[in-house]
Structure 1
Amino acid sequence: MAAESAALRPPPGLAVAAELPDVIPPRRRLTGALGFARRRPAIAFGGGLLVVMLLIAVFAPWLGTVDPGVLATSKRLRPPSAEAWFGTDMLGRDLYSRVVYGARVSLTVGFAVAVLASIAGLAIGLLSGTVRWVDGFVMRLIDGMMSIPPILLAVALMALTRGSLQNVVVAITLAEIPRVARLVRGVVLSLREQPYVDAAIAAGTGTPMIVIRHILPNTLAPMTVQATYICASAMIVEAILSFIGAGVPPITPSWGNIMAEGRALWQVKPSLVFFPAVFLSLTVLAVNLLGDGLRDALDPRMAKSL
């Protein structure tokens, strides 16, 4: 009996290994919002900050603001107080209300330019990268447009029209389309050399179907990342145009207009420029962080091991 018991007894090493799960608890992986924030801090922080700015823009009338265009000359250049959180400007207008409403202009321009430039650049890039005889003509035109800085091209376009939000969006969009088109063209040219595209061509698949099924889906990830940078660049260009008087009308509460009006009193009342500059910087930072996070998440070569 003793020999049979010894034979049925597991080896010492196996017994220790069987007891290890009871001694060492299994490693738990964070899930939910906390886990996502730990794995993708850039997307979490940038996206969260951008959502805050969007909420500020949408719910501006319910955030303790007043009409940003109301003049009160008796309240000119007052310091921040409980009545006017950011103080007042040289015309007695509530600076806090103007800064909050200014988020609408910058975010509208940023998102509109990003969407329009991405759609137009995607179409031009696909056409240029797919049709060889079109590529030479289109790329020479794109090179000519890219030789001009976007801000100078936008100023030149705005000089031909009157100042309005729609014209600002169109001018900045035309200045940003070449960058998207060149990016998409480069991606298309690299995808055309892939084995699965050669296999589709050998199988008799038409060019439109190859573009839709094999090329277009693979261009969306880099184009999405590029769209975030275009959004941030558009907000900066809009602020510059408004600052030099070539953007939206001066009566429109945009961050560029607010800084332009306060630059004459910058040394006396730095808050006139400080508050809109901080809001603009935070919004651009949020969009850039979101773009960096999306680049790491969508590019398998740069994605971090989770």
Structure 2
Amino acid sequence: MTNNKGAVIGSLILLFFIITSAFAPWFATYPVNEMNFEDSLKGPSVEHWLGTDEFGRDIWTRILYGGRVSLLMGLFAVVVSGTIGVILGVVAGYYRKLDMYIMQFIDILMVFPSLLMAIAIVAVLGVGLTNAMIAVAISAVPSFVRVVRGAVLTIRETEYVEAARALGLRNFKIIFKHILPNVTSPIIILATLDFGSAILSAASLSFLGLGAQPPNPEWGALVYVGKSFLSQAWWMTLFPGLAIMLVVLGFNLLGDGLRDALDPKSK
């Protein structure tokens, strides 16, 4: 993967945001919620690298702390959707009697665009950061199910799995010893790509006022607040938007690199 320039660039972008977000207090130039109305709506300067918002809060600092929230939302969505999706995908691919029922349910979910489904789930659960994380996670489950099921359908017909059955191994042991280790590559690739998509979906929900709420410095919420001051303080929208774009780009580049490295068919 080191020969893939895109993957290297993506890794460096992600490394920058992960480090600066994880150690935000060290990199921040001001307290995250410190208000100074004398400095309100000031453009980028030596004192405030990325400018200030309507309350005089430092945009650079709020982006750093907002990275914690956005990256955590993406991680939660991928872990939850990946866990549920892998379980359902393995069951559907290995137990053919259950395949039809599971995939009919997944096909119904896939009729709706992921963002529209997330909005519908938030509408049922209620507005808030936690509910937005749950909604994004649920909306990402179908992609994991379909990818894992497809891989399992191929592997379950291989000779070594047939031999394991002939030797009398239980299905549970066959799944964990012979099938799951051989579907890790597509899972890793999909999880990397979905990480960026989850962050984008979470930011979209916050932008629509359904996710993180002010004064929470989540990137989508920062863009949402900044749009009201677009004509007089463009930096309030531009820099959080760039942060979202760069992180999603980083995950996409890294995911493409992992696909080239782990998937022989892509070469």
Same fold (TM over 0.5): yes
Structure 1 distance, partners of 2:4, 2:190, is: 18
SS class of match (1:163): coil
- Over residues 48-77 of structure 1, what are the superposed CA-to-partner deviations in whole Å (9 max), with x where a residue is unaligned? 221111001011111133222222222211
The residue type equivalent to 1:175 in the other structure is S
Runs of 4+ in structure 1 deviating by more than 4 angstroms, as ranges, are none
- Over residues 11-53 of structure 1, what are the superposed CA-to-partner deviations in whole Å (9 max), with x where a residue is unaligned? xxxxxxxxxxxxxxxxxxxxxxxxx73x232332212221111
Higher RCO, 1 vs 2 (CA within 8 Å, ≥6 residues apart) = 2
Are 2:111 and 1:125 equivalent residues in the alignment?
Answer: no
The residue type equivalent to 2:266 in the other structure is M
TM-superposed CA distance for 1:273, in Å, is: 0.9
Structure 1 distance, partners of 2:28, 2:189, is: 35
TM-superposed CA distance for 1:84, in Å, is: 1.2
Gaps of 5+ in 2: none
Are 2:118 and 1:154 equivalent residues in the alignment?
Answer: yes
Match of 1:290 in 2: 254
Gaps of 5+ in 1: 1-35
Identity %: 37
| Alpha-carbon RMSD | 1.5
Q: Select which of 67, 79, 92 maps to 1:103.
A: 67
Using the size of structure 1 for normalisation, the TM-score is 0.83
Q: Is the 8 A contact 2:214 2:221 kept in 1?
A: yes
- Over residues 211-267 of structure 1, what are the superposed CA-to-partner deviations in whole Å (9 max), with x where a residue is unaligned? 112111111100110001111111001111110100012210011111111112223
Q: Is the 8 A contact 2:11 2:250 kept in 1?
A: yes
The residue type equivalent to 1:90 in the other structure is E
Of stretches 111-120 and 159-168 in structure 1, the one that deviates more from structure 2 is 159-168
Structure 2 distance, partners of 1:213, 1:249, is: 45
Residues paired across the two proteins, number = 267
Match of 1:203 in 2: 167
Structure 2 distance, partners of 1:93, 1:161, is: 31
Structure 1 distance, partners of 2:12, 2:59, is: 25
The residue type equivalent to 1:45 in the other structure is I
The residue type equivalent to 1:96 in the other structure is W
Structure 2 distance, partners of 1:80, 1:224, is: 39
Using the size of structure 2 for normalisation, the TM-score is 0.95
Are 2:179 and 1:215 equivalent residues in the alignment?
Answer: yes
How does 1:1-306 map onto structure 2 within 5 Å? 37=2, 39-303=3-267
Structure 2 distance, partners of 1:154, 1:96, is: 29
